[in-house]
Structure 1
Amino acid sequence: MKKSNQDVARENEKKLCAFFESDEPRPICHGRLNKTKLLESLGIGSSAKTNKITKPLLDAENIKIAESNSKTAHKRAAEGESSDRVKLMQSQIEQLTRKLALTESKLDEYRRSEIGESFLMRTGRMIQMRRVNPNQASIDFDEDK
């Protein structure tokens, strides 16, 4: 005799309850319960994710996992707020910002020289760079040369 869907759902509920009461590790993906892998390992069909009896069990376990993840995240945040560490990280950020600005200026200078070379190759004229300010460059198209 074939079992009714409700009987199958009750059996699946018993399997899930037994699993959640045990100390077995839960399959987790991206900080959430991996329902597909869990149901597959227990031999339960994927329809249990939407079943009225088993869905609340899965959702409750997902909430427990989310709460434990948030507690560990708060502990890490509280540990990492020491002022020395923050000052060190800020100084490193400032150093990296300076290095980035220097590298960007070198890259701009390289691009300008590349533009000058390509302009010379196309037209036969030189682009003369005249520095007005150390932080600024202007390009003059000299037609006589």
Structure 2
Amino acid sequence: MIPVFSKYMFGKRMTPAERLRKNQRSLDKAIRELDQLRVKLEKQEKTLIQQIKTSAQKGQMGACKIQAKDLVRTRRYIEKFYDMRTKIAMEFERENDIMEQRQEMMDDAIDDAMDVGAEEEGDEVVEQVLEEIE
């Protein structure tokens, strides 16, 4: 029997379902944070567009060029956030599939191990029944 302190020292072993749930929460949190940052960038994009228009109306072409570069940079960041979200979801899906395959293999191995013992016990029961009949 494992001493009680070792459970706290090494941490409780998580089942695959618990690990999956924990990873899903982490993934959801990361996606929410990415979405929040993306929304801020989209607001900044709208603000920059308005500032460019204002600068152009005032004839401030130097400021217009700087703001246009910021706008391009902001749009690239927005695209990167969309890409990151997609790649994170794809990576999680791939890892989830691998974990499910491992779980199935372990379940099959356990079932096979359990069936061997059950088969032997079944043979013994059949032998006993046959001996009783004779």
TM-score by length of 1: 0.32
Q: Which has the larger radius of gyration?
A: 1
Q: Flag the structure with more relative contact order, 1 or 2, with Cα contacts below 8 A and sequence separation at least 6.
A: 2
| Structure (1 or 2) with the greater helix fraction | 2
Q: Which of the pair is proportionally richer in strand?
A: 1
